[in-house]
Amino acid sequence: MKRYLIVFLSLMMIFSCQRTKPQSFKDKQQRYPRVQTAFEEKDDLLRSLFADQGIPYPPQKLFIRVFKQEKILEVWAFSTSDTVFKLVKRYAICRASGNLGPKRREGDLQIPEGFYYIDRFNPKSNFYLSLGINYPNQADKILGRKGELGGDIFIHGGCVTIGCVPITDEYIKEVYWLAVQAKSNGHAKIPVHIFPTKLGDRTMTCLKSAFPNNDTLINFWENLKIGYNWFEQYRKLPTISIKRDGIYQFSDSSEE
């Protein structure tokens, strides 16, 4: 009898642990129909894509890079074997608003420029699925119009924008599902770097010619170029901090 009681109590403990096991972020997101659809339609495709690039799947760390002039959104994933980020896929941005240059106030239609991270997941977006970025960041708050910066900048589905980054419903399924998995694996702040264009030396010369009397804008882009060059050279992300004057500073990262 005592032996049966011990077995019974052991089973009860197992069932209790199973009932109280916390759900992962991925599990919680998959309760939403659109996220479940993204999983069902895109997981096998993405798994194959990662295999082709020699990147472990599901992703442990992601990096998103946006080029406004080229209308391109890039998704990179960290390869643990090579200890660098590798390009997973480029997505076309189907519509853009505003001009080259940072967002400095609400209603200017500008897509922000700078160094951000994903801070919100919206599985019930008006634009199918959406990933919010942490605009305004500290640099924006220092350099932008005080109290009138606006917010709610997203990477989302659909093909309309007033400062966001739309990539269509089909493609947001892929990017959103990758971001869900990365966050569920512990990547709490997925970096999103937004540039006016690819900031190579030749492009910077063209920008200086196109904006000859705007030292403020050129100096801002020269600052962004440091972060752009860092990733181009090392395929790793620097640690980014912001000085009191709103200038970005870059140093070696201990994470990658």
Helix (H, G, I), strand (E, B) or coil at 163: coil
Sign of CA dihedral 95, 98, 100, 104: negative
Alpha carbon distances (Å) from 105 to 119, 142, 220, 221: 20, 12, 16, 18
d(CA 214, CA 211): 6
Name the helix (H) or strand (E) containing 73.
strand 72-79
CA-CA-CA-CA dihedral for 206, 229, 60, 87, to nearest 10:
50
Q: Are 73 and 88 in contact (CB under 8 A)?
A: no
Residues annotated as part of the active site: 156, 164
